[in-house]
Structure 1
């Protein structure tokens, strides 16, 4: 049998980093009482029969600290963009002025801040699940390699490597969640 069976931990780490990048992107969409162009990034608009990110149907700007504007390029899409923003769960009531949709950012009250910390926790749990799925894939690779003649010592080595990778990325998720929750609760 083969002495040189290896598990591709670089691929596993890359996929775990992808879960972290996705989490950071989702965290950027959570508003913290300040206007940010990235808060509308997750909004998808039904444009021309396909779901399209909002920044591909208009220009997103932050003209003042409590206002985000979306200048829709195609006048026929204004109502669809407005509807997508209303249904996005951002908790923002858009106001339309021609092709410009204004999103006034209300001051966050204590109850809304607590809701947003729960949403952040849900995003973090999704990232943890993604990381655990990558771990499971790695463990499946190890089982397959064991069936192909990998020694018990190598099996233990690779299982430990995959678990350490998982623990490291899970800790990063927890740290990112703590930081985001602190940012949300800051008045």
Structure 2
């Protein structure tokens, strides 16, 4: 290869170019450029197709994941609806039991009041009964004194006392005997 004034041209290429003429060389170069552009476009299309293919595959995967997640969401929403129904049922049951508890509490308060009233009445009746018994005892004691005075007129009955009893031939307080009896038992 001989170097001419144009760098990188061989004498053969130069001869071919002169023989073919400018129009032919221009056509050749245009065809060469067109082929290179077609090749470039083909390569671009191939790369675009690969990207599109990858995007399509990724899109399919994402669609599958989306369907799966939508299915999970639907399942969770259904479970949420069930749990809300259960919660409503439990709340209703709780409200009913709370109402029942309030009623029972009111009944209990009423019964406690009735028990207090009944206890008070019983204490009053016991007091009344004790008073009646004491009054009956005093009346009976006075009757006995009157009968003894009638049967034994002229006897001194001033020492007679309903709180005393006869023990070992003498009159002693009933309370002393009760206390003395308790001390002997201990």
Shared fold, TM over 0.5: no
Give the TM-score band, short-chain normalised. Answer: under 0.3
Q: TM-score, normalised by structure 2?
A: 0.23
Q: Quick check: which one's strand share is greater? A: 1
Q: Which has the larger radius of gyration?
A: 2
Q: TM-score, normalised by structure 1?
A: 0.23
Q: Quick check: which one's helix share is greater? A: 2
Q: Which has the higher contact order (CA 8 A, sep 6+)?
A: 1
